[in-house]
Each structure stands twice: as C-alpha cells, then as structure tokens.
A and B are shown apart, each in its own frame.
Chain A
Amino acid sequence: MHLIMAEAKYYSGLSSEEDERTEPNDQLARELDNLDTVSCATLGWGTHLEIASRALLFVTQDMGIPRNPLVKSLAEYRRKRNKDGNIFWASWRFLPPILEQSLEQESIPENRAVIADMLELLLRKGLIMFGGVEPITEYFALPEFYHITPTKYSWPVIPESLDIDYAFEVTR
C-alpha cells in the first residue's frame, strides 16, 4: 500500500508556521508528522495491509515550485523529528492538458463527466500555463466626444435663507 496525502491550495498560503513548541507546527511539517504516524489500522483499512511508502503531495496554483515554503517546512520537520520528509509538488496549471488527453481516451460516461467538469472548472479559473501572447486584432474606434454644441446649464436658485445682505465696512 502506498499512502499519499494531498494538500491542495488555491490562492492562500500555508495555514500555520513554525513556532517554539517541540512538535512541528508549520502546516506541511505538521502534515508530514501526521502522515508518519498513521497506520492502516488507524485509517480503518485492516491490519493485514502494510504501508510501503508515504508521500505528501502539495498542489498549488504556481507555475514554478514554491521553493520558500517547502524549504521552511522541510527544515522544521528535519530539526524537530531528526529525519527528512518527502514533499512532492504539482500545479493545478499542469492539469488541463492531462485532462484533455484523458477525455480523448476515456469511454465511461461517468468518468468523462467528472473529467470534463474538472477541466471546465480549471479553465474558468484561468488555471493554465503560459502559452504565448496573441495580438489584439480588432480596432476599437471611439468617436470624438468633445461637443462644442452649447448645452443649457442651470443652477438652482439660492434659497432666501442663504441670501445674505452683506454690509461692508471700510477701514483705513
């Protein structure tokens, strides 16, 4: 049995950082810790199974590997547990072409529906890689909007209450 724990993010960062307590507190370090302690029995899978490998998969919307949070998480885990953790990274943006390929090969309608829905969501969210710039080809001509035709303006009549009868006093 290979155990994979997935931590998926959209725009937000990690929910917790390293602190002074003895156990890991950075979100990914904490999850590495959790991953290390679970067994088939605690997961309710029966005791006859054995976990051969454990890995944490971190999914984000970045185009490149988010090095800083991974370095921090792995460093805290190493410092507090005295061993190295395994974190694999993937981006939501890698998925659309994979899903497109899967759609071409998948024949079961239920599976196709899920794949198509996922693909549509990713495209709607703009979670794609950079595929080059396409020039704008339309011309958007705005008419000149300065009109010299006089418009009739009107201002409100000053109410009597504001009509002050000034008295000026000249001093030398």
Chain B
Amino acid sequence: MTETIGSPTRALFESLAKLYKQGQLLLMDADRLMGEHGWEPTNTTAPSGFSYSLNTPERWYARWAVRFYVPIASGGDAPSIDQVLFVSIHFASDLNTSLPTDIDEPLISAGCIKYKKPMTAKVANKNYDYYMCKYWFFGKPHEALEGWRRTTNSKYSENLKGSETFTVPLYQITSSEKLKELVINPLFAVREEEEGVA
C-alpha cells in the first residue's frame, strides 16, 4: 500500500510513475533472465507509440513497454535468426490506433515472432516492430499450446511466418522468481520442446 501526500492529481501522477518504475525493473530483470538463456535485447528502448500531436492526447503516455530479444552473438554475417522473442507490459488500453487493445488490469504478454527463412541481425532489425508485442490481442487460440494464441503471416513482412504468444496478469508477478516461473520459463519450455521435436 502506497501512502500518498498531496492533491489527488499529484497522487495520480506519482502512482503512474511508480507503476512505470516497477515496469522498468521488471523488464530489466527480464533482460537478465533472458541473458541466462543466451538471448540479448535488441536495443535499449522500451515504451513506444507515443504521439506529439495535439489531437491525440490518449497517446501522450506509455500504454505498453516491450523488449525484443535475439540469440547472443547472432550479429555476424551468417543468417541465423529465425525467431525474435519478446516480453512486454501492457499498462493501459491502446485507443484510436490501427491495432487497438482493451486492457483493464495490466498484462504481461510474451512470445515469439517466427520467420520463414533465417536472417542476419541487420535484416532481422527491419523485420520486427514494436506493434508486434500486441499480436496476442489479435491472435487465435493456439491448437497445441494451452492458453497461447497465434497469428500467421503478415501483409507487411513476406518472411514472417507468424507469432505464438501468451499473457500473464502483471500483478501476479510479485517477485523475480514469479517472473521466471510464469513468463521466462514457459517461453523456453516451448522452444526446447520444438527443438526436441525437430
């Protein structure tokens, strides 16, 4: 329980700042845990999709933050990246956009973006974008993975095979151990299963 002193408006913004701060720490911890599995973040940013326009105040604040990951040492000239993993937090509904989302309690969405042909890191960088962290909201139930959703193909990227994603309520992540158990481990359990089958 957070004690707040001051006006309701101040409490509102301080609560928002605290929520974002917790989101920052969670994503930094996700970076650490993904690193233990041999995956590294593709860049240093997290939130995106802001608007500077006077006409769209609903996009003046971060509705989500996301980290994308590729295998460590995949930055060479050989095309080796056929999946990009991500962990994202969806704090609030994304309204008046081409991919709107509807959020009540905040969610973590994680998953993988799969490609038909392996790519170099340079090519991979042009083949994923921040909006892909919203794929769960538009996916269909996954036939093989309970609670997961999937999308197939994309009109924007010829090489995109699809996505496999799942969500966890943000407030269930009460510790670093929970982040590992509920978000990171399921991501890699699926990968290991696939590699075993292959």
Q: Give the interface of A toward B (CB within 8 A).
A: 62-65, 67-68, 126, 128-138, 140
Whether the Cβ atoms of A140 and B29 lie closer than 8 Å is no
B35: which A residues are within 8 A, CB to CB?
Answer: 64-65, 67
- The stretch of B93-101, B126-134, B142-150, B175-183 in contact with A is B175-183
Q: Which of A63, A68, A126, A140 contacts B40 (CB 8 A)?
A: A68
Whether the Cβ atoms of B15 and A131 lie closer than 8 Å is no
B8: which A residues are within 8 A, CB to CB?
Answer: 140
26 examples of A-B residue contacts, CB within 8 angstroms: A62-B32, A63-B31, A64-B32, A64-B33, A65-B35, A67-B35, A126-B21, A126-B24, A129-B29, A130-B22, A130-B26, A130-B29, A130-B176, A131-B175, A132-B173, A132-B174, A133-B22, A133-B170, A133-B173, A134-B2, A134-B22, A135-B171, A136-B18, A136-B19, A138-B11, A138-B15
Check: B12 CB closer than 8 A to any chain A CB: yes
B105: which A residues are within 8 A, CB to CB?
Answer: 135
* Residue interface bits B1-18, CB-to-A below 8 A is 1, else 0: 110100010011001001
In whole angstroms, what is the CA distance A33 to B76 when docked?
A: 28
A132: which B residues are within 8 A, CB to CB?
Answer: 173-176, 178
B40: which A residues are within 8 A, CB to CB?
Answer: 67-68
